[in-house]
A and B are shown apart, each in its own frame.
Chain A
Amino acid sequence: MRAAIFWCAAAGLGCSLACGGGQTRFNLFSTDWEDDRGASIERVWQRVRSSPIPAAADVVLGVAGNTDKIIGLPLGGGSPWKFAHPLDARPVVAGMVVVASGGGEAFALDAASGSILWRRPTGGLPLLGAGDDGAVTVVTFRRTGGAGSTMLAVTHDGQVVRQIETDRPLGAPAVLGRMAFVPWASQYVSAIDLANGDETARVTLREETSRAWVEGGSLWFGQAAYVRFDEHIRGASTGAASVVTIPHRELPGTPRPMRPGSEPVPPIANAEDRARIYARPAATETGAGLCDGRWYATYFRLAMGFDEKAHLAWSHLHGSDFVGGAAVPGGVILCDDQGKAIALDEKTGGTLAELDLGEPVKACVVNADSYRATGTPKDAKPLPLQLADAVRAEDAQLASAQKMLLRELAALDDESVTKTLVEIVNDPRTTPEMAAASRVALATRRNGASYLEAALERHYDYMKDVLIAPPVAPIAQALGAMKDRRGAPLLAAHLLDPADSDDDVKQAAAALAVVAGPGELPALRQFFGMYRASAANDDVADAVVSVGRALIAVEPKTGRAVVDAAANDPTTVPRAREGLHALLDGGKP
């Protein structure tokens, strides 16, 4: 392993990445390093622990035009700015600086105004990440061809104070107290003293790590998890650091909270930007936690909020696809491909604020440090209604999310869920897969009987253009389980409706065995007479047996005589005969 360091500033040279001279050998990023059990990183912690961490910019960046324009919009108000420049990677916000690359150079802008701070030729190396401490910006690039990286430290006046080239895959760095924290090889973070280029410390992390950044007054390392740089960092190699992770749960598109910092992020948003997890780590008394106890996920135009146990708290259906965002105290800021950004309330998913970049964007970056989403959320609905909106949205690309949300919906006790499920099944636009899942969910409902009864009022009617029968089978299962006698006449009517499926009839009969009363006797007798000798399949034969059970339950003496006669009549279909015998014998057919 070798690393080349160029110390340019001391010589007053305006050096570029292509320049030479002054090269020294150093054992940077070597893998023959022995774990010092946190001793060196503890020294660095002691050195920088009191260094102030200035707040970073609160800004939304849009990549617009033909990926040749950056639009900046301060979150806290202020005029938007635009900066025209070709881009070959997604811009990043570091401190109060926007860093980007393209057109053969890297450049830094003032995040508040968009004015250029510095630019350096790169020979076309794409940007990986950047950190900034208010005086020096440290930027990492991936070397052309993919093997190795370059790190550049540039002062805000454009002086290159350090340039390091390495065969190692570096990640996105952070800067604190004139010390660059550079993740590499997915497991190390090296602390490099920008004054002399020495690697003064290294920490081995047990979590996959390719990013370092400052946020909320703390320095963080991570990729799949968030590791706080605090007094526990010396125990990182033994798993004793302050770490917070996103709890695992099923999510459409299997999103990640962060992309690997060792790979350039394309300037145009792709599928990974549309299925993302957003979370904000926060310092806690015990080390690290999730800000507000919340984390968020997006899937195309759907946003979801979760608690620390990964329970769904809300969902928000938006007008167009989300392509970027950031979790902030009080909620999440998300921006869409139309250049609109919204702040959603962490508790309800209601809209707290809306911003407009002024034009559609190819990608979006949100950086929020001191910004807090506050106010009274508008359009906040109860979770069952939010889920109903999401599940019923006519949007084929949401299909995976809708399946997941349907399960969430079905698990809620609210009566309106029953209504929603009936509507989904009755809607001819519902996909067969969703309809089937909704029917399964409907059968498990134990409230909302009035909605189920209302659904049963409907029958197939060619002349009235009612061409879909209601979901009788699952409704019957639910009403039977609820012992809802008000549904009995409606079920009896469906028992005799030839437009209903065989399963509908079977389940209606099974429910009637529980809920039928004297008012249903005519229909029960009619069905029993019509099908005991003509049932065309097992479902209808089973229905005959259930109706036999109902007849006995409603009028024990007469009913038993009718069932007995049918059970002993050879013209009764065999399956029904067998079931009726079992019924008479006291068993459950």
Chain B
Amino acid sequence: MMGPRRIALPFAVAALVGSTTANAQPRPRSAPDPAGQQVRLPPDAVKRLKSRDPAQIQSALDDVRTSARAGAPTVPAIVDLLRDGLSPALTIAALETLGDVQSAAASETVAWYTRDRNVETRRAAVGSLSKTGGPAAAKALRAALSDGDAGVRGLAAISLGNLKAKDAVGDLFVALDHKVPEAAAAIGMLCAGNECDRLASKLGSVPIDVVTSGLEQVLFRPPDDVSDDLKVKVVGRVRQLGTGEAHRFLQDLQTRWPKAGSQRVKQAIDQAVLATSASPASTEPQP
């Protein structure tokens, strides 16, 4: 089944962090097995984490990241390290590791670092919270929408979407009005009824690619989450816009609409594509 373009983490995190840390030192990065299989946690991982030796700590963190959720037993030790203090590089590695382990128990300590003076550390903490979840995560991420760094704000918005923090929709609209474009996609992931309509009503006042990044999320959400009525209404909003950009968005939607998806919505999309085909600049500009 096809779906919305991947806005969700880790793609977005990698893209955003990569776009703003050009001067950062490259650091070794392990990642969970792409096949999704867990690698067994080495038995001495905790011991190395407690060694106070930066090199051993780094190697242990690498192993834990590879182990993903299997690394859960190391979480208390990593949390202790973060509370006791690490170098900037190890701090970021520890935060990313806790994200990969997806331990909600670490969220309070990870949340500390969403207020770090080092912007790279803040980005790592925000990205990590989107995966750990936990009681402190949503609160810290909402606060991070007010960060002085645009990258942190964008990550926080996307992370709130990933966390399904429906209470944050109001804040995300404020963020969207404050030129945090990532908030649109997050709203699209979380909105209900009138909120989705409110997002669609931003067409014309907010750049169309920003709004459609959120509407796309709405349209591809499952029927039990967003009704066909609402999806048809959203398609109608885009159709009303009647611009070439609207046409291209609808055309792209048409090609990616899942075969098993709602035929009623598909029909609305097809009709909208036809209705906007004569709009100015409706064809893709030649490169």
Contacts and interface: CB of A to CB of B under 8 A. Distances in A.
A460 B86 contact: no
Contact of A566 (B85, B113, B121, B153): B85
B218 interface: no
A530 B178 contact: no
A529 B84 contact: yes
Contacts of B119: 498
Contact of A572 (B85, B112, B122): B85
B159 interface: no
Contact of A571 (B85, B113, B117): B85
Interface in A501-559: 502, 505, 525-526, 528-534, 536, 540
A461 interface: yes
A569 interface: yes
A429 interface: no
A249 interface: no
Interface in A164-206: none
A532 B121 CA distance: 15
B91 A498 contact: no
A465 to B, nearest CB: 8
B202 interface: no
Contacts of B115: 496-498
Contacts of B86: 533-534, 571
B52 interface: yes
Interface string A477-511: 00000000000000000001111001001000000
Nearest to A497: B115
A464 interface: yes
B85 A462 contact: no
Contact of B88 (A461, A463, A534, A572): A534
A465 B171 CA distance: 14
State which size class the interface on A falls in. Answer: 20 to 34
A127 B147 CA distance: 69
B271 to A, nearest CB: 39
Interface in B112-128: 112-113, 115-119, 121-122
A502 to B, nearest CB: 8
Contacts of A462: 145-148, 153, 178
A464 B91 CA distance: 30
Given A462-B147, A462-B148, A462-B178, A498 B116 contact: yes
A461 B146 contact: yes
Instruction: Categorize the interface residue count of chain B.
Output: 20 to 34
B116 A569 contact: no
Nearest to B117: A498
Contacts of A536: 88, 117-118
Contact of A463 (B52, B117, B121, B175): B175
A463 B146 contact: yes
Contacts of B147: 462, 498
A461 to B, nearest CB: 5
- For A528, A569, A571, the residue with the greatest tally of chain B CB atoms inside 10 Å of its CB is A571
B174 interface: yes
A333 to B, nearest CB: 53
Contacts of A532: 85
Interface in A557-576: 566, 569, 571-572
B87 interface: yes
Interface in B59-102: 82-88, 91
B174 to A, nearest CB: 5
Interface in B199-230: none
Interface string A87-109: 00000000000000000000000
Nearest to A544: B85
B85 A534 contact: yes
B85 A464 contact: no
B146 A534 contact: no
Interface of B: 52, 54, 82-88, 91, 112-113, 115-119, 121-122, 145-148, 153, 171, 174-175, 178
29 contacts: A460-B146, A460-B148, A462-B145, A463-B175, A464-B146, A496-B115, A498-B115, A498-B116, A498-B117, A498-B119, A498-B122, A498-B148, A502-B117, A526-B112, A529-B82, A529-B112, A530-B112, A531-B117, A532-B85, A533-B86, A534-B85, A534-B86, A534-B88, A534-B121, A536-B117, A566-B85, A569-B52, A571-B52, A571-B85
Given A536-B118, A571-B54, 19 more contacts: A460-B148, A462-B145, A462-B146, A462-B178, A463-B174, A463-B178, A502-B117, A526-B112, A529-B82, A529-B83, A529-B112, A531-B117, A533-B87, A534-B85, A534-B87, A534-B118, A534-B121, A536-B88, A540-B117
Top 7 A-B pairs, shortest CB-CB distance:
A533-B85, A463-B146, A462-B146, A532-B85, A461-B146, A529-B85, A534-B88
